[in-house]
Amino acid sequence: MSDIQNQQSAVCEGMIDALLMPGAYLAGIKSVREVMRDDDFRRLYGHMLLHEIMPRLQGKREDVQDMALTLSQKLELSRDAVITRLPCCISFCKDWAMPFIKENTPCLMLGLAMMLMLFAGPHDDIREKEDALALFTGLSPDMTADSLVYAVFGDREFWGWDILSDEEFCYALQSRVTDLQILGVRGAVKKCFDEISETMN
């Protein structure tokens, strides 16, 4: 693969680690292979990659498709524990993933909400940079969705831009956080796809 393809592959894999694996961890899934064999998370992975990440990657369509296939095969065969894929996922979101996440990328937005809920709860066994962990000091997954979003994404210096000024983004994220709090991980995934189906009809 070219240097650009290698970089894109690394970004895709990093986004899956940062925005899919937190939900898998919250759902009690232990290994990456199990994630890829789980109906809910395989569906979430597929939509994230095919419909929300790949269309924004540069390069020939065939090259992007080949890269995605290679990544999928790698994850399907992986024996890694899910927890080993979680270190630095907040920092990765800040540096790479945030430009991909919009109010019209429901699966990536749900993934961001899952990451937020993971770190709002006990996370002593997950490595992350100190400035990223500081965002979650004193938080609880039982806080209201708007309070969580404001607390974590109100730090303009950390994120590099005023996220709270994007009202549509914040509303979409708060809605996904609320879904996780009320419905649980799998219920939130089901609701996400119900909404996707409605928009496609």
So what's the pLDDT on residue 179? 98
DSSP helix/strand/coil, 123:
coil
Average pLDDT score, the chain? 94
CA distances from 88 to 37, 67, 127, 170 (A): 25, 23, 6, 22
Interatomic CA distance for residues 157 and 45, integer angstroms: 31
Q: Decide: 77 and 33 in contact? Cβ < 8 Å.
A: yes
Domain boundaries, the chain: 3-200
Which structure tokens are listed for 193? 């796809």
**DSSP code, position 79:** -
What crossing angle do the helices spanning 106-120 and 167-200 adopt, rounded to 10°?
130
Which structure tokens are listed for 43? 């569906």
Which structure tokens are listed for 187? 């219920």
- Superfamily of domain 3-200 in the CATH hierarchy: N-(1-d-carboxylethyl)-l-norvaline Dehydrogenase; domain 2 (1.10.1040.10)
So what's the pLDDT on residue 1? 61
Summarize the confidence of residues 19-28 as an average pLDDT: 97
DSSP characters over 132-166:
HHGGGTT--TTS-HHHHHHHHHT-HHHHSS-GGG-
Q: Where are the alpha helices (DSSP H) in 31-143?
A: 32-37, 39-47, 61-77, 89-92, 106-120, 130-133
For residue range 38-67, what is the model confidence (pLDDT) as tens digits?
Answer: 999 999 999 999 999 999 888 788 888 888
For residue range 146-199, what is the model confidence (pLDDT) as tens digits?
Answer: 999 999 999 999 999 999 999 999 999 999 999 999 999 999 999 999 999 998
